[in-house]
Structure 1
Amino acid sequence: MLDHLVLATPDLDATSVAVTRDGITLVDGGPHIGVGTRNRLAGLGPGRYLEVVGPDPEQPEPDAPRPFHIDELTDARLVTWAVRVPDLDAALEAARGTGHDPGVARAMSRRRPDGELLAWRLAFPPDDLGGVMPFLIDWGTTAHPSASLPGGATLDELVLEHPEPARVRAVLDAVGADGPVVVRAGETPALTARIDGRVLG
């Protein structure tokens, strides 16, 4: 199912102010140690959330580029989204069965400000079709982040546009990407979210 949206930014503080001004309550998620980023989160209804992620000035410069092309951004942008699966290895095989390369599974973790350690496994596709194709995440025994987030915002829909919508739909069906996800034909890949009537792209 749809797990979360990723809004990447070159300036986490400035983007957080803008998002909060739009009426969305953000809380500090914590740093991704060694990656050079940290995030802030907002609940989008049961089992869903918005992740605002950007450079962490308290960490040294990472050895590799930050994820989500953060180092190349000049403005905040909705760059990708995640689908939560109960069995990552099975979901990877299902995705491969459609001819899509979902990437390789890897383990990650971060510690929340209250000290609780969150751990998960995920896989990023080498080609995410401009952010349209989601990455897959398996939270294992970790409590889902949305359970500890304040409510108040709701994801109305996530619109995915691509020249080959049937190709995208086949992968989403294979991995169980249910939720308010709309796939449309478009000249170029694009993703747009509508949260309580506000457009985020």
Structure 2
Amino acid sequence: MRTPGVDHLVVATSALETGVPSLTDRLGVGPSGPGRHERFGTHNALWNLDDGAYLELIAIDPEAAAPGRPRWFGLDRFAGPTRLVHWVLRRADLRAPFVPEHGATSRLARDDLRWSLTTPVDGSFPVDGSGVWPSLIAWDGAHPSSGLGHDGLALRRLVLSTPSADALRARLVEAGLTGHLGSRVTVTPGPVGLRAELSTPGGPVVL
């Protein structure tokens, strides 16, 4: 599980109670969860993907205390329909020289899970604020996907569009994602955007 790769996709929603049935209808498969992040005042639901990756649907937890800091993944400013907003790149560790450019490293825990994640202190997305450049994560021991069922969902391709395509591609190579580039992860020059192409029990779905 420590091999560099796509760790998870981040899908934001205004409310988990409406986002879960909406995404379940699109995927044809229900999630595991919810789980809570006390430090950031959020909660989530998870869907297992192939190759040790998962999809996270995340929202502000209305029952949580205010975190006293901006929430991650731009959730304080999120509005509109449930949608893919970001992705997280798994690494063996977060000691690479470029890591601080992706945000301060936070050590986090929930139940038997322990991980470190880069999180900009202002709650924005890393590097350019677009969500196309990944957050970085390193797991200590168990990974969430090991506790999720296998329901026929798979990430076929993650397409990242940005005017800084060459710089992003070089960073992903530097981060160790070489084996996924061109097959599972595609970086293209153009307007900022993310697209995840999934296979589901009901056929292809694009987020």
Report the TM-score, using the length of structure 2 for normalisation. 0.84
- Cα distance in structure 2, aligned partners of 1:5 and 1:123: 15
> What are the residue-to-residue correspondences of 1:1-201 with 2, within 5 Å?
1-22=5-26, 23-74=28-79, 75-89=81-95, 92-93=96-97, 95=98, 101-111=101-111, 117-124=112-119, 126-141=126-141, 143-151=142-150, 152-177=152-177, 178-179=179-180, 180-186=184-190, 188-196=191-199, 197-200=204-207
Identity %: 38
Contact 2:113/2:140, CA 8 A, preserved across alignment: no
Amino acid at match of 1:161: S
Superposed CA deviations along residues 100-126 of structure 1, whole A, max 9, x for unmatched, are 822232201223xxxxx3110111364
Count of equivalent residues: 187
Contact 1:83/1:136, CA 8 A, preserved across alignment: yes
Structure 2 runs not aligned, ≥5 long? 121-125
- Cα distance in structure 2, aligned partners of 1:118 and 1:29: 14
Superposed CA deviations along residues 107-158 of structure 1, whole A, max 9, x for unmatched, are 01223xxxxx3110111364245111101100022x1111111122011110
SS of 1:19 mapped into structure 2: helix
- Cα distance in structure 2, aligned partners of 1:157 and 1:37: 27
Contact 1:83/1:135, CA 8 A, preserved across alignment: yes
- Cα distance in structure 2, aligned partners of 1:29 and 1:120: 18
* Per-residue deviation, 1:88: 1.3
Structure 1 runs not aligned, ≥5 long? 112-116
Contact 2:41/2:71, CA 8 A, preserved across alignment: yes
- Cα distance in structure 2, aligned partners of 1:29 and 1:85: 25
Contact 2:114/2:139, CA 8 A, preserved across alignment: yes
